[in-house]
Amino acid sequence: MSPIDPVALTADLVRCPSVTPAEGGALVLLEDVLTQGGFTCTRVDRGGISNLYARWGRKGANRTFGFNGHTDVVPLGDEAAWTMPPFGAEIKDGYLYGRGSTDMKSGVAAFAAAAIDFVNETPPDGAVVLAITGDEEGDALDGTAALLDWMAANNEAMSVCLVGEPTSLNVMGEAIKIGRRGSMTAFFTITGVQGHAAYPQQAKNPMPAMARLMDVLSSRVLDQGTDHFDPSSVQVLTIDTGNPATNVIPAQTKACVNIRFNDTHGSAGLTAWMQDEADKIAADFGLRIEMRVRVTGESFVTPPGALSELVGKVVEAETGRKPKLSTSGGTSDARFVKSHCPVVEFGLVGKTMHQVDECVSVEQIGQLKTIYKRILTDYFA
């Protein structure tokens, strides 16, 4: 069959309004393209989320190279601020515009095009798998996690996996992600007794206790960083009381903090630390402090080895830059894949992701397909 044009495929995907959790036609389109390319496709929908599993080659093959990515996108924000149609996929001055063009429909198009061309031109001794979700930008409970659960139940497996998220800040080939920090958010509610500001002895003001707690948490130096990670960070995101009166002591105040943590910590230990500090301050002030924690992902790292070396050599050969091994950024679905097989991330420059007028270099889309295809060639060589 004729080579797949990754730019045209990116454009077709961008025209699908797949704002999380809407499928928007993106996975239907990919299933059709991949099926025509010789892949066996299975929809793995769960919890109202659409997911697609595609495999070329024998189940249980000795070597299976996997790609992972997502077709869902974040909301548009202020649509009136867009100067280009957000789902128009219009090309101007060498850039393709549209929501999801960078994060990460171009990455999905590039690895789908590379995989189809590769297996049809030089069928490998092994298998190639594409695990594509429609729920990475949302809660991610029924996205890649659902795909991996289905794979385990159906004796499907990847030997290694490359996640096609944007990985570079400024120029193509800057970085390969070999891990990610953990992320968790703690929500605090402190309840006191409302009263008149002139008669504080008849009230219990929760504000000083919250100020103390936020100071204690944000002032704590958690670590100095590790071999692969920057120092962990505690950030106060909000303190909300909603008190418009100048003569009323409020009855309740709320706050939340976010912690991005390296491989020195786990969420359980950090939760215990915050609970201990909250309990001490509650006792000091004679107030009730409630804490609720949401963990987005644990810290992980794929130690430098065969997979990162393979990807690094190809990236350097194709871009002329030796990529650094990075763990920066937020969370990605690699946090789920890391329990299944070795995983790294490599993709385009992510400078405009989630922004108004999100766009991607047309030249880079073709370059990324070339890199992915060469990775497959070298892996199965």
* Spatial contact of 208 and 285, defined as CB atoms under 8 Å apart: yes
Q: What is the dihedral of CA 5, 10, 11, 16, to 10 degrees?
A: 140
Hey, is 140 helix, strand or coil?
A: coil
Evaluate whether 146 touches 140 at the Cβ level (below 8 Å).
Answer: no
Q: Which residues contact 65 (CB under 8 A, 6 or more apart)?
A: 126, 127, 128, 129, 158, 159, 160, 161, 162, 375, 376, 379, 380
State the maximum Cα–Cα separation within the chain, in Å, rounded to a whole number.
82
The partner residues of 55 in beta bridges, in order of sequence, read 40, 129
Distances (CA, A) of 8 to 13, 15, 39, 201: 9, 11, 20, 70
Strand partners, 65: 128, 160
Q: At what angle do helices 106-121 and 6-14 cross, to 10 degrees?
A: 140
The catalytic residue positions are 72, 136
